[in-house]
Amino acid sequence: MTSASPAAAASVPEDHGLGRIGWKGHLLILLIVAASLYPFGALLVTSFLPPVNGAPGQLWRDLFSQIPITSYMLNSAIVSGGAMVLVATVSCMAGYSFAKLTFPGSVQVIAIVIAAISVPQATTIIPNYLNFASVGGVGAYWGPVLMYAASSIPFATVLMTSFFKSLPDELLESAVIDGASYAQIFLVIMVPLATPALATVGVLAFLTAWNDLLVGLLFLPDPAMRTISVGIATLQGVRDGSMNLILTGSLVSAIPPILAFIFFQKYLVSGIVSGMGK
C-alpha cells in the first residue's frame, strides 16, 4: 500500500489510498453495468426480432414505409441545429461582454440571467405559446428554435462568462492598443480560444432541443413538421398495438444523441459539473 518502490507504484497507477474492492464489489459493478446496458439491449433486440407473423427486419421496413421517420428526423435536426447555433452565438457574445466589456449595470443583468436559470419551462409555456401564436411562431420552425435557445441561453451564458473571465485582461488591452476593434478582437482572438467552451454549450443545447417533447408538441402542430420525439410519442395514441414499432423508432431517435455522447463525453461532463459554481 505504502510501498515506495517505483515498480509497485507503476503497477497501481490509480491507487487512491483506499485499497482495492473485493469480489462482492466487482459483482455489484458488473450487475450495474448490465443494468445500464438494458435500455439499449431492449431497443436493439425488440427492433430486430421478427414480429408475430413477420420476417426479421420487418419492423425496420415498416418504420420507413409507414411512418415519415426521415422527415421527423430532418425536422428535429432543423430545430435542434438552429437552437445549437443560436445558443453558441448568443451566449458567446454575452459571455465576452459580461467578462471583458463590463458596462454600467452589467452586474445586475448577469444576476437576472442567473435567476432565469431557475424558471422552469413549464411555468412560462402557456404565455409563451399564446405570445408566439400571436406573431406566427407556432407552426413555423423559428418558434421552437427561439424557445429552445431561450431555455439553454441562461446556463450557457453563465458558462461562457466564467470561461472568458479565466482569460487574462491583457489579451484584450494589448489588442486595443494595437488598434483592433472590439468586434475584431471577438472574432479573431476570443472565438478561437473559446472553441472547447462553445462545444460544451452547443452540444448541451442540441441535446436539450433534440430530446424535448413539450415544446415540439405545442409549437409544431402540423404533422409534416413534427420532430422525432413528438412523432414517436404521438404514434402511441394512434397505433396502440404497435409497441415494438415505437421502440424501433425510439432507437432511431436516440442515434444522434448517442453519437454526441460518444464524441463529446468529456465536454458534457465538464459542462454539467461546471453548473456547480452557480
Partner 1 sequence: MSVSSGPSRQARSHSARNDVARHVNGVLFALPAILLVSLVTILPLGQAFYYSFTNWNGATASWVGLSNYANLFADPELSRSLLNSLLLFLSVPFGLILPFVTAYLLHKSVRNGKLYRAIIFAPTALSWVVIGIVSRQFFSGAGPLNSVLSLSGMGSIAPNWLADSTLSLGAVVFTFNAALFGLNTTIFLTGLATLDRSTIEAARIDGANEAQIIRYVILPAMRRFLQFVFIITVVTSFTGLFGMIYVMTGGGPGSATLTLDFAIWRRALSMGRFGSGVAIGIALMTLTLLAIVLIRFITGSRERDDA
Per CB under 8 A, the list member of 3, 66, 70, 102 interacting with partner 1 is 102
- Site pattern 9..28 for partner 1 (x: CB under 8 A): ---xxxxxxxxxx---xx-x
Q: Grid coordinates 507503476 are at which residue?
A: 10
**Closer of 78 and 268 to partner 1 (Cβ):** 268
**Closer of 33 and 55 to partner 1 (Cβ):** 33
Scanning 48-56, 67-75, 107-115, 191-199 for contacts with partner 1 by CB under 8 A, the matching segment is: 107-115
Per CB under 8 A, the list member of 82, 154, 202, 271 interacting with partner 1 is 154
Specify whether the CB–CB gap between 141 and 82 falls below 8 A.
yes
| Alpha helix ranges (H) inside 166-242 | 170-177, 182-185, 191-193, 195-210, 214-219, 228-238
Scanning 52-60, 66-74, 198-206, 252-260 for contacts with partner 1 by CB under 8 A, the matching segment is: 252-260
* CA triple 123-127-133, angle to 5 deg: 135
Per CB under 8 A, the list member of 4, 7, 10, 35 interacting with partner 1 is 35
Scanning 47-55, 58-66, 89-97, 192-200 for contacts with partner 1 by CB under 8 A, the matching segment is: 89-97
How far is Cα 82 from Cα 94, in angstroms, rounded to an integer? 18
**269 lies in the site for partner 1, by CB under 8 A:** yes
**209 lies in the site for partner 1, by CB under 8 A:** no
**46 lies in the site for partner 1, by CB under 8 A:** yes
246 φ/ψ angles, rounded to the nearest 5 degrees = -65, -40
Per CB under 8 A, the list member of 72, 98, 163, 267 interacting with partner 1 is 98
**162 lies in the site for partner 1, by CB under 8 A:** no
Long-range contacts, 192-196 (Cβ 8 Å, 24+) = 193/167, 194/92, 194/95, 194/160, 194/163, 194/164, 196/267
What one-letter code names the amino acid at 246?
Answer: I
